[in-house]
């Protein structure tokens, strides 16, 4: 499966705006904050984080070595140039570095937090950081119509492509071993745009493999996309779930969803799995037929799903955490640990060993939760106490769990 899973194209998605509006903040606030990269010392008092420390075998087993329900202290904490809006693809860990979307775009060493490289105007704020075949693909932060590929370990440019002058700012939405998939506005003679195009760029030559104009009224922002074999699947704010053939760009099928999903979906083998309010539905990629569905508890709505080590994890608004077989929708386990602890619901998951890490939205009872992946038991919750209005994001390199909160990036032992 492509690592373009569940990405969002566009500077600011409606889901992000709704989250910010719910917190009573404006987009002007989102753009504010410190830039650069410096050591963050623990000062004590409100908003401080535990002092960095090194781990040892005596610290415990699993769950970041937390003990007695307490979160481990971060190995390091940095203030970054991050400019994020809450989507999973704005923080990545690869090739020994961790990268958060921002200006400048900076890569920090996973082990120490030291800066490895930095690029001014390297990324468009809010656009995804897409990883594929050892390359980091970005929409140009210079807004010059380019899509650029970089070696994530060094920051060196390795690939560049342009869709054409008649299109405005193509934004990558997904990537596989052969192509980078983009959406862009189609320019009118007066410089305005009423339609948009979806296209595939060859990831070796940069040449346009195909391009298809999307229907009038569709939007180029807020698209979540993934690639599975010969299927490019994506959702948008017009309640469309669409699948195209990756070789030709031709539409295989499209259907209206009952609810608009503002977050990522999941793809497993020949299925696309989409949360729609109180229902979680799986559709066949080949023809769009429904294969299974799961109902949340009464008055509860499903959040965003994540596939981790072959298990589908998803929480609902009633603070129940579900582990499901993605092929059948059958329950592996169901946990009320979130409700019992009166903590907030996670919306993004990563796993290391036997521990599942979940990142929440803005709430003070949230942060990064660590769960037993076999039972759903809550081990601990990490929160930096800053009260920052941004959603938490998590990524892992298998040795660390990186937790981004606003401009604070913490490396937790995995």
Q: Rounded mean pLDDT of 125-143?
A: 88
H helical segments located in 23-119 = 27-31
Terminal Cα distance for the chain, rounded: 24
Query: How far does CA 395 lie from the centroid of its chain?
Result: 9
Q: Which long-range contacts (CB under 8 A, 24 or more apart) does 270-276 make?
A: 270/228, 271/326, 271/327, 272/226, 272/228, 272/233, 272/241, 272/243, 273/305, 273/312, 273/326, 274/235, 274/241, 275/301, 275/302, 275/303, 275/304, 275/305, 275/314, 276/302
Q: Is the pLDDT at 104 greater than 90, yes or no?
A: yes
Return the ∠ at Cα 369 (arms to 387 and 30), rounded to 5°: 35
pLDDT in tens, 351-397: 999 999 999 998 788 999 999 999 999 999 999 999 999 999 999 99
Task: Identify whether the C-beta of residue 409 lies closer than 8 Å to the C-beta of residue 391.
Answer: no
Structure tokens belonging to residue 213: 């104009």
CA distance linking residue 180 with residue 257, whole number of Å:
26
The percentage of the chain sitting over the pLDDT mark of 90, rounded to a whole number, equals 64
In this predicted structure, the answer to whether residue 30 has a pLDDT above a threshold of 50 is no
pLDDT tier, 18 (very low <50, low <70, confident <90, very high otherwise) = very low
Residue 22 has pLDDT above 60, yes or no: no
pLDDT of residue 256 exceeding 90: no
């Amino acid at each position: 499966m492509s690592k373009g899973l569940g990405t969002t194209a566009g500077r600011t998605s409606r889901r992000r705006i709704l989250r910010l509006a719910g917190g009573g903040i404006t987009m002007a606030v989102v753009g504010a904050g410190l830039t650069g990269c410096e050591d963050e010392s623990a000062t004590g008092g409100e908003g401080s984080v535990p002092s960095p420390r090194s781990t040892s075998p005596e610290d415990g087993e699993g769950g970041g070595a937390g003990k007695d329900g307490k979160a481990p202290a971060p190995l390091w904490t940095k203030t970054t140039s991050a400019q994020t809006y809450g989507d999973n693809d704005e923080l990545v860990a690869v090739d020994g570095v961790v990268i958060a979307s921002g200006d400048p775009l900076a890569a920090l060493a996973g082990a120490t937090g030291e800066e490895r490289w930095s690029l001014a105007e390297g990324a468009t704020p809010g656009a995804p950081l897409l990883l594929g075949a050892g390359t980091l693909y970005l929409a140009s932060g210079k807004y010059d119509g380019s899509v650029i590929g970089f070696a994530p370990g060094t920051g060196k440019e390795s690939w560049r492509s342009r869709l054409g002058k008649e299109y405005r700012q193509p934004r990558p939405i997904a990537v596989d071993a052969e192509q980078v998939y983009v959406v862009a506005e189609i320019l009118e003679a007066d410089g305005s745009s009423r339609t948009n195009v979806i296209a595939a760029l060859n990831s070796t030559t940069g040449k346009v493999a195909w391009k298809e104009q999307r229907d009038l009224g569709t939007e180029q922002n807020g698209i979540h996309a993934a690639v599975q074999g010969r299927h490019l699947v994506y959702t948008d704010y017009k309640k469309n779930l669409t699948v195209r053939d990756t070789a030709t760009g031709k539409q295989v099928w499209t259907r209206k969803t009952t609810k608009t999903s503002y977050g990522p979906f999941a793809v497993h083998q020949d299925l696309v799995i989409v949360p729609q309010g109180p229902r979680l539905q799986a559709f066949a990629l080949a023809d769009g037929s429904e294969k299974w569905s799961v109902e949340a508890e009464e008055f509860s709505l499903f959040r965003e799903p994540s596939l981790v080590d072959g298990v589908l994890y998803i929480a609902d608004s009633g603070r129940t955490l579900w582990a499901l077989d993605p092929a059948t929708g059958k329950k592996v386990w169901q946990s009320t640990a979130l409700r019992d602890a009166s903590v907030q619901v996670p919306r993004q998951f990563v796993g290391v060993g036997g521990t599942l890490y979940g990142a929440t939205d803005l709430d003070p009872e949230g942060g990064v939760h660590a769960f037993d992946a076999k039972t759903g038991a809550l081990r601990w919750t990490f929160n930096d106490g800053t009260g920052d209005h941004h959603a938490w994001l998590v990524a892992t390199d298998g040795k660390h769990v990186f937790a981004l909160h606003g401009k604070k990036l913490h490396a937790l032992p995995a």
